[in-house]
Amino acid sequence: MPTDVERGACQEAALAGAGRRPGDLVPFTLHFERSAPVETIAVVIRPGDSGR
């Protein structure tokens, strides 16, 4: 079973292929094994970019 980090990496890859650009804001849901999902907003960054 993938870890939360691995699932996050898969979601990031999906965003990159969806025509998103660095700086775009996208709805993002974090799913945890033992607690409720957390909905938030994510900022798209390029791989290797610090986001600053």
Predicted TM-score of the model (pTM): 0.47
Ramachandran angles phi, psi of 43, nearest 5° = -105, 125
Tens-digit pLDDT profile for residues 27-37: 989 999 999 99
DSSP element (H, E) containing 11: helix 4-16
* SS3 state of residue 1: coil
Tens-digit pLDDT profile for residues 1-52: 556 555 555 566 555 556 888 889 999 899 999 999 999 998 888 877 765 6
Q: Give residue limits of the domains in the chain.
A: 4-43
